[in-house]
Amino acid sequence: MDTSSTAPTDTPAMATSDTSATKTPPPAIICIGMAGSGKTTFMQRLNAHLHAQKTPPYIVNLDPAVKNVPFERNIDIRDSVNYKEVMKQYNLGPNGGIMTCLNLFATKVDQVIGILEKRKDAGSIDCVLVDTPGQIECFVWSASGAIITDALASAFPTVIAYIIDTPRTTSPATFMSNMLYACSILYKTKLPMILVFNKTDAQDAAFAKEWMTDFEAFQRALRESEEGNDEGVGGSGYMASLLNSMSLMLDEFYKHLDLVAVSAMTGAGIEDFMVAVKGKCEEYERDYRPEMEKARKKRDEQRIKEKEKELDRLMKDMDVDGGVSSKSGRKKSMPKEEEEQDLLSDMESSDEEAGQGMQERDEDEGAMDEDEEGLQARYERELREKGGTDAGVLQDASLRRYLGANQM
């Protein structure tokens, strides 16, 4: 079964609120979260909220292993790549199969961006939602994930929504682990990020806001956990010292993040999330886009410099081989255009001498035949003058040697 020949299909959006082109480009929201953080449920709730606002999103599913998706998708990786078939053909496990599917799909990312840009130009989309695999490392730390993220960020104001399981982060150790992972994703993608504390219907996220804004509050929680009242640290002095140091380091990191508490089950906080997305889009246009364009310009300049170095190296090699032109006798310091013309004439003359000119090959062959006939007549005359009239004397070997000696 061909696992990569099918192009991404574009399913028409369920409804469009306006066919005119929007003044500002629609935001692209990439939802990333640990397995079990409620990412798919959050996507479903966000999709329902946007439909209720008469601004249906354009949804792209990048999870090839999911069986059932509780919302409509416009572009689905499962339409292009068969996850089970990839595992079978390449003898891979679950994570390897997901990464291979993403690699195959990344080869068609230009088609995906083309579809999205057509929709954007037509003004038929107000928001792009991208659902990623639950195995977060398969997308964040893979080359295909970087390719897809960079391609999307080059066309749309892109925001990373990092979904966090709030009930599982009440421990200082687990909270700090999530913050470190969020920090690594932020600096890996170099895109604006929103921390989405999900499942607030089961656990209020006020503690997380307090820990991120008040260093002393986190220190108190850390001291309580040292007493063995919390499952994350259990009184380990080394762990407490490590968390203390990391909290000091991440204090500056928190200033670049927006924290939103939501409940994918009840829908609470979804509007706050959209407000945060709008703010991050402005931050993207103000801070991130200039940096991306600067980095792209730097890469282009570096590529041009490398090409110039290769050209200079080639010209030096040609100067070493040719030296001063044998035809014109000009020096190496002649103008570049004259050097190119002289080099071209030398190449043409050498081709003609070697019998490689396509247009003049027949004439050269005729001239060579005439020269050979004249040499043969002179050879026979000299033999007759010396008394060697026997025809058997004209052997091929001696004739070839004579011809060769006269051609030197």
DSSP string, 31-71: EEE-TTS-HHHHHHHHHHHHHHTT---EEEE--TT-S--SS
Determine how many CB atoms are found less than 10 A away from the CB of residue 200: 21
**pLDDT for residue 160:** 95
Tokens (6 digits) for 321 = 């081989």
Mean pLDDT across the stretch 373-390?
60
pLDDT digits (tens, 9 = 90+) for 298-323: 878 888 888 888 888 888 887 765 55
DSSP 91: T
**pLDDT for residue 273:** 95
Residue 380 — pLDDT band, cuts 50, 70, 90?
low
Asked whether residue 328 carries a pLDDT value surpassing 50, the answer given is no
Burial of 366 (0-12, 13-18, 19+ CB in 10 A): exposed
**pLDDT for residue 257:** 82
pLDDT digits (tens, 9 = 90+) for 84-112: 999 999 999 999 999 999 999 999 999 99
**pLDDT for residue 253:** 79
Tokens (6 digits) for 281 = 């889009």
pLDDT digits (tens, 9 = 90+) for 259-270: 999 999 999 999
Residue 355 — pLDDT band, cuts 50, 70, 90?
very low
Place domain 28-226+241-294 in its CATH homologous superfamily: P-loop containing nucleotide triphosphate hydrolases (3.40.50.300)
Mean pLDDT across the stretch 29-34?
94
**395 or 136, greater pLDDT:** 136
Q: Name the CA dihedral angle for 286, 288, 290, 294, rounded to a multiple of 10 degrees.
A: 170
Rounded Cα distance, 26 and 38, in Å? 25
DSSP 285: I
**pLDDT for residue 6:** 52
Q: Give me the residue label for tokens 């011809």.
A: 403
pTM as predicted: 0.67
Residue 247 — pLDDT band, cuts 50, 70, 90?
confident
**171 or 361, greater pLDDT:** 171
Mean pLDDT across the stretch 245-259?
80
- Backbone φ, ψ for residue 170 (5° rounding): -70, -20
**pLDDT for residue 86:** 93
**pLDDT for residue 23:** 60
CB 277 within 8 A of CB 182: no
**pLDDT for residue 350:** 47
**pLDDT for residue 363:** 42
Rounded Cα distance, 8 and 64, in Å? 13
Rounded Cα distance, 341 and 339, in Å? 5
DSSP 257: -
Asked whether residue 177 carries a pLDDT value surpassing 80, the answer given is yes
**pLDDT for residue 307:** 86
Average pLDDT of the chain? 77
- HSE (CB half, 13 Å, CA atoms) of 125? 25
Rounded Cα distance, 222 and 172, in Å? 6
Mean pLDDT across the stretch 385-401?
52
Position 195, amino acid: L
pLDDT digits (tens, 9 = 90+) for 178-187: 998 998 898 8
**pLDDT for residue 64:** 93
249-267: b (≥16 Cβ within 10 Å) or e? ebeebbeebbbbbbbbeee
pLDDT digits (tens, 9 = 90+) for 212-223: 888 888 888 888
**pLDDT for residue 4:** 46
Mean pLDDT across the stretch 128-153?
91
CB 108 within 8 A of CB 7: yes
Length of the chain equals 408
Rounded Cα distance, 202 and 97, in Å? 34
Tokens (6 digits) for 237 = 């002095």
3-state DSSP of 338-391: HHHHHHHHHHHHHHHHCCCCCCCHHHHHHHHHHHHHHHHHHHHHHHHHCCCCCH
CB 120 within 8 A of CB 160: no
**225 or 135, greater pLDDT:** 135
Residue 330 — pLDDT band, cuts 50, 70, 90?
very low
Domain boundaries, the chain: 28-226+241-294
**pLDDT for residue 144:** 92
**pLDDT for residue 243:** 78
**pLDDT for residue 269:** 94
Q: Pick from 56, 86, 90: which is nearest to 73 by CA?
A: 56
Tokens (6 digits) for 355 = 């019998």
**341 or 316, greater pLDDT:** 316
